Amino acid sequence: MNIDNTTMIRMLHDSKIRPSVHRLAVLDYVANSGTHPTADDIYAEISKDYPAVSRTTVYNSLHTLVDGGILKELEIDNGSAHYDFARQSPHSHFKCRNCGRIFDMALPAGIAEVVSPGFRVDAAELCFAGACPECIDRNKNSNN
C-alpha cells in the first residue's frame, strides 16, 4: 500500500476527523507499513519522528481512526490488538507463531456462504497460524 498525504487528509475529512499530525502519522504507519502493528509498535515508531508524543495521544488517535472506519482492530492475539488499514480489499491473515509477524493472504471467494441461513454477514475474519518461510528456513539451517 502506498497512500499519500493528500489521500489520507481527504479520508479523515470524509470521516469528520480533524487531520492532526499525530493522527496522520498513525494512519501512515498502519496503512503503509503493512505490518499490522500493535499500539505499542505504533507508539515506538511514531516517537522516533515525534519524540514529544505521548502514549495516550497514540492510543486516542488509534481509537478515533477505528471509530471513523479508517483503521480496524484485528482479532488475532488474545493479548494486544493488531491494527490494519480498513479500506483495502478483504483479505485473510497468517500469523507466524515463531516471529509473531502477521502476513496478508487472499480470502477465498464465497466464504460468507458457509454461514447458516438467517444470519447477515457484514465482516469476515480468517486467520491462519503456523510458521512463515523465513522461520522455516532459519529452523532448517540451525538443525544442520
- Decide if residue 98 touches Zn ion (CB under 5 A): yes
- Decide if residue 92 touches Zn ion (CB under 5 A): no
Q: Residue 24 or residue 135: which is nearer to Zn ion going by CB?
A: 135
The answer to whether the CB of 71 falls within 8 A of the CB of 119 is no
First vs last C-alpha separation in the chain: 38
Which window, 14-22, 37-45, 98-106, 119-127, contacts Zn ion (CB under 5 A)?
98-106
- Decide if residue 111 touches Zn ion (CB under 5 A): no
The answer to whether the CB of 94 falls within 8 A of the CB of 129 is yes
- Decide if residue 107 touches Zn ion (CB under 5 A): no
- Decide if residue 73 touches Zn ion (CB under 5 A): no
Among 68, 86, 104, 107, binds Zn ion (CB under 5 A): 104
- Decide if residue 60 touches Zn ion (CB under 5 A): no
The answer to whether the CB of 127 falls within 8 A of the CB of 136 is no
Nearest Cα neighbor of 129 from 108, 87, 109, 99 is 99
Strands 102-105 and 127-130: unpaired
C-alpha cell at 93: 491473515
Which window, 9-17, 19-27, 46-54, 97-105, contacts Zn ion (CB under 5 A)?
97-105
Alpha helices in 53-132 (DSSP H): 55-67
- Decide if residue 41 touches Zn ion (CB under 5 A): no
Among 1, 21, 44, 99, binds Zn ion (CB under 5 A): 99
Residues at the site binding Zn ion, with contacts judged by CB under 5 A: 84, 96, 98-99, 104, 132, 135
